[in-house]
């Protein structure tokens, strides 16, 4: 046999062998393998799509949450501001009311004091009259009538009152 | 100590090789071509002018086929979503061929040709590698085998083209449109010759590459017998080892090129617009 002369017998066997190999492998190896490859490709594509959707959803949820948080913070700020205002108003109210009441109380006390003072002065006056009558009785005895005494005392009291 | 024993074993190997060479001298061992030419092993009758005798290359082609028939269905037969081990390695090759060659050149038509193209690749690469096994032979270093594979490819190419464009449409479509009417017969002849030449080159390329690798290794080993010296022996052995390593690469490269060109030719037949 020569190097470059084709051997028809070997060519025949090559055709037979190759065709058998092709047919057997197509059924037993390439078929299942290519199916698995296609399925895997499909699954990877689906997984990637799913992951993308999940990512999008997560992003959405996060942004929504952030929005919610911002709104809550804003609301809290508002509530604080409002309550501060309210408290301020209440404080002013209470203070003014307290001041008014205190003024009222003071007035009443002043008035009562004045009243008491007048009462005390009257009492003192009467006591002074009684004392002076007693004292005068002791000094001048029964020289003067009750009526005279009274007249003299009230006259002098009048004078004292004028002095006052 | 270690160096001494290494040197000792190398000289022993070299002496054995030289003795073997001397024994075989005069029986045609000097002609390296004898080693790459096929020999009949079992004589069978000639049927219709075809000598059906089983040759050395036939046997090794069957060995390669047996390996493929044992390994590939066992590995790819059970449908596993997550591949591992040998299946993973072989699957990587299949995925590479599918994405780099079939999808690239045949696109959506590729699905129909996947089994053929994958079988061609694995058949060629296994045959190529068997030539590197001591005592083995590459059926693909025989022009009969590569020519047959090429004829199958040529058949696939023309059949695909004729199936798509019709028998007449395919052959007339080979002539590019928009040329003077006078040139049409000439162009037809040129295109048909081109088609045949491309496939002839396909067969020759694989055959020549595989034969050349074997001849290089044999020639390097042959140097030992020519020089008949212990001292010279390590250098051809180192050289032959290096060429052997290169041959492993070439075995895959040539299978890849054959597969790639098969896809390209099918694609050209399916898209005739020049």
Best mutation target, A4, A14, A40, to test chain B (most B CBs within 10 A): A14
Indicate the average pLDDT of chain A: 87
The shortest CB-CB distance from A4 to any of B46, B116, B143 is to: B143
Distance CA B274, CA B272 (A): 6
Could B61 and A17 be called an inter-chain contact, meaning their C-beta atoms sit closer than 8 Å?
yes
A24 has a chain B CB within 8 A of its CB: yes
Q: How far is B32 from chain A (nearest CA, A)?
A: 12
Query: Counting every residue, how long is chain A?
Result: 164
Q: What are the φ/ψ torsions at residue B46 (nearest 5 degrees)?
A: -90, 125
Could B37 and A10 be called an inter-chain contact, meaning their C-beta atoms sit closer than 8 Å?
no
The shortest CB-CB distance from A29 to any of B33, B50, B73 is to: B73
Domain locations along chain A: 27-163
Confirm if B75 and A32 have CB atoms less than 8 A apart: no
Helix/strand/coil (H, E, C) string of A11-45? HHHHHHHHHHHHHHHHHHHHHHHHHHHHHHHHHHH
The shortest CB-CB distance from B55 to any of A10, A20, A35 is to: A10
Partners of residue A1 in chain B, C-beta under 8 Å: 37-39, 55
A141 has a chain B CB within 8 A of its CB: no
Looking at chain A from residue 40 to 59, which residues have their Cβ under 8 Å from any Cβ of chain B?
40, 43
Best mutation target, A1, A7, A31, to test chain B (most B CBs within 10 A): A7
- CB hemisphere CA count around A44 (13 angstroms): 8
From the list B179, B195, B197, the residue with the least C-alpha distance to B187 is B179
Q: Coil, strand or helix: which one is B55?
A: strand
Assigned token pair, B258: 């054959």
A-B contacts at Cβ under 8 angstroms: 123
Partners of residue A8 in chain B, C-beta under 8 Å: 49-51, 144
Mean pLDDT of A112-118: 92
Residue in A closest to B39 by C-alpha:
A1
Q: How far is A58 from chain B (nearest CA, A)?
A: 29
Partners of residue B118 in chain A, C-beta under 8 Å: 25, 30
Mean pLDDT of A97-116: 93
The shortest CB-CB distance from B144 to any of A10, A31, A40 is to: A10
**Alpha helix segments (H runs only) across chain B:** 2-24, 33-36, 56-76, 85-97, 110-130, 143-165, 167-173, 184-227, 234-270
pLDDT tens digit at each of 274 positions of chain B: 455 555 555 555 556 555 555 554 444 445 666 666 777 777 777 777 777 778 888 888 888 889 888 887 877 777 666 676 777 788 888 888 888 888 888 878 778 888 898 899 999 999 988 888 877 778 888 888 898 999 999 998 888 888 888 888 778 777 777 777 788 888 888 888 988 999 999 988 988 888 888 888 888 888 888 877 788 888 888 888 888 888 889 889 999 999 999 989 988 888 876 5
Q: How far is B47 from chain A (nearest CA, A)?
A: 9
Which pLDDT score is estimated for A137? 76
The shortest CB-CB distance from B37 to any of A3, A20, A40 is to: A3
Could B39 and A1 be called an inter-chain contact, meaning their C-beta atoms sit closer than 8 Å?
yes
Q: Considering all CA atoms of chain B, what is the largest pairwise distance in Å, rounded to the nearest integer?
A: 83
Radius of gyration over every alpha carbon of chain B, rounded to an integer in angstroms = 23
Predicted ipTM of the assembly: 0.75
Which pLDDT score is estimated for B22? 53
The shortest CB-CB distance from A40 to any of B50, B81, B139 is to: B81
Phi-psi map region of B107: left, alpha, beta (phi>0 left; psi -120 to 50 alpha)? left
Assigned token pair, A158: 């009048």
Q: Is A114 exposed, middle or buried (0-12, 13-18, 19+ CB in 10 A)?
A: exposed
Q: Is A15 exposed, middle or buried (0-12, 13-18, 19+ CB in 10 A)?
A: middle
Q: How far is B178 from chain A (nearest CA, A)?
A: 40
Residue A163: band (very low, low, confident or very high) from pLDDT cuts 50, 70, 90:
low
Could A14 and B149 be called an inter-chain contact, meaning their C-beta atoms sit closer than 8 Å?
yes
Which pLDDT score is estimated for B28? 43
Q: How far is B37 from chain A (nearest CA, A)?
A: 6
Partners of residue A46 in chain B, C-beta under 8 Å: none
Q: What are the φ/ψ torsions at residue B231 (nearest 5 degrees)?
A: -70, -35
């Amino acid at each position: 046999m020569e190097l470059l002369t084709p051997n028809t017998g070997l060519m025949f066997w090559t055709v037979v062998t190759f065709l058998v190999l092709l047919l057997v492998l197509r059924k037993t190896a390439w078929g299942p393998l290519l199916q698995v490859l296609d399925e895997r490709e499909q699954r990877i594509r689906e997984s990637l799509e799913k992951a993308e959707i999940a990512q999008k959803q997560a992003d959405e949820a996060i942004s929504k949450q952030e929005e919610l948080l911002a709104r809550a913070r804003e609301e809290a700020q508002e509530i604080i501001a409002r309550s501060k205002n309210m408290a301020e108003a209440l404080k002013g109210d209470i203070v003014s009311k307290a001041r008014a009441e205190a003024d009222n109380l003071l007035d009443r006390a002043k008035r009562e004091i004045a009243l008491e003072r007048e009462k005390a002065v009257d009492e003192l006056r009467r006591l002074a009259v009684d004392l002076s009558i007693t004292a005068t009785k002791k000094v001048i005895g029964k020289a003067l009538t009750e009526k005279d005494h009274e007249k003299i005392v009230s006259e002098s009291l009048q004078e004292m009152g004028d002095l006052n | 100590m270690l160096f001494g024993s290494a040197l000792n074993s190398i000289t022993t190997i070299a002496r054995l090789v030289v003795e073997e060479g001397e024994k075989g001298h005069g029986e045609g061992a000097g002609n390296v071509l004898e080693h790459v030419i096929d020999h009949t092993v079992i004589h069978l009758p000639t049927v219709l002018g075809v000598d059906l005798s089983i040759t050395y290359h036939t046997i090794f082609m069957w060995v390669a086929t047996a390996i493929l028939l044992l390994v590939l269905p066992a590995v790819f037969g059970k449908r596993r979503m997550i591949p591992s081990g040998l299946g993973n390695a072989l699957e990587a090759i299949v995925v590479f061929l599918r994405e780099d060659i079939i999808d690239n050149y045949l696109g959506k038509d590729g699905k129909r040709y996947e089994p053929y193209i994958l079988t061609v690749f694995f058949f060629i690469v296994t045959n190529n590698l068997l030539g590197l096994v001591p005592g083995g032979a590459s059926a693909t270093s025989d022009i009969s085998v590569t020519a047959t594979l090429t004829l199958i490819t040529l058949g696939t190419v023309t059949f695909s083209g004729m199936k798509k464009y019709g028998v007449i449409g395919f052959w007339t479509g080979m002539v590019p449109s928009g040329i003077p009417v006078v040139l049409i017969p000439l162009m037809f002849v040129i295109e048909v010759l081109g088609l045949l030449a491309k496939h002839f080159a396909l067969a020759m390329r694989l055959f020549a590459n595989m034969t050349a690798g074997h001849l290089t290794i044999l020639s390097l080993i042959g140097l030992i017998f020519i020089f008949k010296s212990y001292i010279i022996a390590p250098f051809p052995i180192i050289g032959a080892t290096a060429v052997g390593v290169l041959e492993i690469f070439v075995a895959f490269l040539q299978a890849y090129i054959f597969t790639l060109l098969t896809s390209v030719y099918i694609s050209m037949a399916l898209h005739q617009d020049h």
